[in-house]
Amino acid sequence: MLLMKSDDFRGILRLATNLKNMTKLNANVKTSLPSCRVDTLSKEAAQELVPGICVPFDTAFYMPEALNIQSQNYLQALFWSCENLVTESSTFDSGKKLLQLHRRPVNRLSEFDGEYDAVIICLGAKVNMLPEFSGRLPLRTCRGVIAHLELPDDISEGYPERGPSILSDAWIAVKSPRELHVGSTWEWKSSNSSPSVSPDEASSALTELLPKASVIYPRIMNWDFTGARAGLRAMPPLTSLGSLPLLGCINDIMEGNQTCKYWLFGGLGARGLLYHGWLGNLMAHAVLSSDEGLIPLELTSWKNTIQFSDFNKQTEFH
């Protein structure tokens, strides 16, 4: 979960805490795209960005153009952008286009039949709430908790005014010089989608997160816990190609005859911000063309390898 973005803070600092990660990060720097700037910093240079930071292998990787994003604000801005695009398109094209947001409860997907030509289901971890998919999709649920920390009033020196956020075994997202968010935990097989965090769950999250964060930024132990929030991820299955999102037309796995064409867009896990733009474009072209073949086979092959009727009996995720 990536959280906050502020114009007062710049970039993300990536640090390795073991030799395996260090080797991977060095390799990534050599193969990264020119448009994705990654600077290799010495221990001294990293400590100029964040005084007091520990650099286990005397090397850090700085991404000055990287951002932490408040996902709820981002999604709202993305919808506004789509609205503006439709308005501009209607002005220049002969046909009028309309984009509307409807909020209504839906009990079954079949309720859309006869009303829409196509429906894209993108409910994240809540997709199993639809009876057509309950227990049938190869998704692994995982609950994550984020801790909110503030610096006590009696400590004057806060986080550096323009210091980067930190990405390591735990991540530290900077909201202000006196406010940090630390995450995230991973509770596999959880079905709890509530953003609220109980005192016991918060205490457990702090016990897990603070030691990881303090390895890189020891001063975080001086900060006070002020609250926590949680979310539920829908992780795709592990394959020989990695953890790939689930896309494709799903009419063939639904019961009955449908006049509407149904599509699934899910399993983005913790990498939704990385995948969503590219995959959304692929999905839009496939839906408009009514051609699933426009989606890479790697993202639709999950339908061929899962026995949906016996999925719960045959598969156990770890």
Q: What is the pLDDT of residues 236-255, one digit of tens each?
A: 988 888 889 999 999 887 77
| pLDDT for residue 310 is more than 60 | no
pTM greater than the 0.85 cutoff: no
| pLDDT for residue 114 is more than 50 | yes
Query: Quick check: 293 and 300 in contact, CB under 8 A?
Result: no
Does any domain span residue 148?
Answer: yes
- What value does the mean pLDDT take over residues 202-218? 97
* Local structure of residue 221 (DSSP, 8 states): G
What is the rounded distance in angstroms from the CA atom of residue 192 to the CA atom of residue 84? Answer: 36
* Helices 272-289, 71-92: crossing angle, 10 deg rounding: 30
Domain tally, the chain? 2
pLDDT at 94: 63
pLDDT at 53: 96
Structure confidence by residue, pLDDT tens digits, 267-302: 998 788 888 999 999 999 999 999 999 999 999 999
Percent of the chain exceeding pLDDT 70 equals 91
What is the rounded distance in angstroms from the CA atom of residue 186 to the CA atom of residue 208? Answer: 10
223 and 249 share one domain: no
226 and 296 share one domain: no
| pLDDT for residue 106 is more than 50 | yes
| pLDDT for residue 8 is more than 50 | no
Question: Any bridge partners for residue 171, and if so which?
Answer: 167, 183
Domain endpoint, select from 185, 209, 235: 235
pLDDT at 67: 86
- What value does the mean pLDDT take over residues 151-169? 93
Confidence band of 306 (pLDDT split at 50, 70, 90)? low
Question: What percentage of the chain's residues is helix, strand, coil (to nearest 5)?
Answer: 35, 20, 40
pLDDT at 93: 65
Q: Which residue has the higher pLDDT, 310 or 214?
A: 214
301 and 186 share one domain: no
What is the rounded distance in angstroms from the CA atom of residue 50 to the CA atom of residue 161? Answer: 10
Structure confidence by residue, pLDDT tens digits, 14-66: 999 999 999 999 998 988 888 888 999 999 999 999 999 999 999 999 999 99
Domain endpoint, select from 182, 214, 235: 235
189 and 271 share one domain: no
Helices (H), the chain: 19-31, 43-49, 71-92, 199-216, 272-289, 297-300, 302-305, 311-314
What is the rounded distance in angstroms from the CA atom of residue 133 to the CA atom of residue 71? Answer: 26
Does any domain span residue 172?
Answer: yes
Does any domain span residue 316?
Answer: no
Query: Quick check: 172 and 165 in contact, CB under 8 A?
Result: yes
Task: Quote the distance between the C-alpha of residue 140 and its chain's center.
Answer: 14
pLDDT at 316: 37
131 and 258 share one domain: yes
Confidence band of 314 (pLDDT split at 50, 70, 90)? very low
List the structure tokens of 72.
């709820």
- What value does the mean pLDDT take over residues 189-204? 95
119 and 131 share one domain: yes
Measured CA distances, 51 to 7, 54, 57, 305 (Å)? 20, 9, 17, 51
Query: Quick check: 59 and 22 in contact, CB under 8 A?
Result: yes
Does any domain span residue 217?
Answer: yes
Domain with 293 in it? 107-139+240-310
154 and 228 share one domain: yes
